[in-house]
Amino acid sequence: MSISLFKTLIAISETGSFSGASQKVFVTHAAVGQQMRRLEELLSVDLFDRTEKTPRLNQLGNALIPKAKAIVFSYETILDDLTGDPQMIGELTLGAVPSTIRGLIPMAVKRLINTYPNLHIKVVPGISSKLLDQVESGNLDAAVISEPIRIPTNFNWMPIIKEELTLLTAPEITEKNPIKILTSAPYIRHTRQASVGQLADEWLSINNVIVKDSMEMESLENIASMVAHNLGVSIVPNICVPDDLFRSLQKISLGDNSIYRSLGIIMRNDCSKVKLVQRLYDQFCETTIKNIS
């Protein structure tokens, strides 16, 4: 059964006549009549009162209109359900590096949920490499991570912001030379499995800085807590949406040789919720712009 038969039936209901429907669905008056005969044959019922010159929907025909509209709506929005229209999707599973979970993620998600209150978002924390693997396997719809060195061809990378790596210290540190601080203070290292840890190690190597390792941690939140207690210093991204603890700590520029962490959202090209991820991406961009300004 062609969906066009139901569209023509709805047009007759809305315009009140076969001639009005013909103009709305762009077929001839005769074609409208033929389509309705065909629909009646398929359903084995009479939908029109033809006792008068102009056919009119009978009681059964009028009762069918709401169902016909539901069928047409389902047909026209079938791809919305498959491509992630927020009004059709119930849940989004999102990976996120820890540095985004106390600021960027909740602020952007809140803005999205204000628009789509029935939406449910599950946030899974982890380091970039592990989250990328979960997106690849389909366990995550998308993830907010540091830009991978190599982006697989079947992935879509959408950059959000570049965050400069900075030296994080307790407020009481008075020395401003990053090299002097790094060579004298205990160093709290990001895990080497994390993209940020690799970037920090790259900067240390390029600048021939030998640090005194004291701890190695995976979460920026935990690193910030240790730094706040003056247990050491660390090279971290100057995160775009900081929490109160991170904001209270001292950020010292690494100088002319500073490097950046590119933060973005990644998903597979065949992600079934691409429209929803795009809307969330828009909220990430707006959130970072408002926070910077």
Do 238 and 112 lie in one domain? The reply is no
Question: For residue 260, what are the β-bridge partners?
Answer: 164
Q: What is the pLDDT of residues 227-283, one digit of tens each?
A: 999 999 999 999 999 999 999 999 999 988 889 999 999 999 888 788 888 999 999
Asked which of 51, 76, 101 is the last residue of a domain, the reply is 76
Of residues 154, 172, 147, 130, the one with CA closest to residue 237: 147
Question: For residue 252, what are the β-bridge partners?
Answer: 167
Do 150 and 286 lie in one domain? The reply is yes
Question: For residue 169, what are the β-bridge partners?
Answer: 250
Q: How far apart are CA 139 and CA 237, in angstroms?
A: 27
Q: What is the pLDDT of residues 102-143, one digit of tens each?
A: 899 999 999 888 888 878 889 999 999 999 999 988 889 999
Characterize the bridge pairing of strands 212-217 and 186-190.
Answer: parallel
Q: What is the pLDDT of residues 229-245, one digit of tens each?
A: 999 999 999 999 999 99
Over residues 178-190, the mean pLDDT reads 95
pLDDT of residue 226: 97
The two structure tokens encoding residue 245: 């603890």
* pLDDT higher than threshold 80 for residue 191: yes
The 10 Å CB-count burial string (b at 16+, else e) for 41-52 is eeeeeebbeeee
Total structural domains within the chain: 3
CATH (domain of 57): 1.10.10.10
Q: Where are the beta strands (DSSP E) in the chain?
A: 48-49, 56-57, 91-96, 120-125, 142-146, 155-169, 186-190, 212-217, 234-237, 250-253, 260-268
Q: What is the pLDDT of residues 146-169, one digit of tens each?
A: 999 888 888 999 999 999 999 999
Do 256 and 166 lie in one domain? The reply is yes
CATH (domain of 190): 3.40.190.10
Domain range for 286: 84-161+262-292
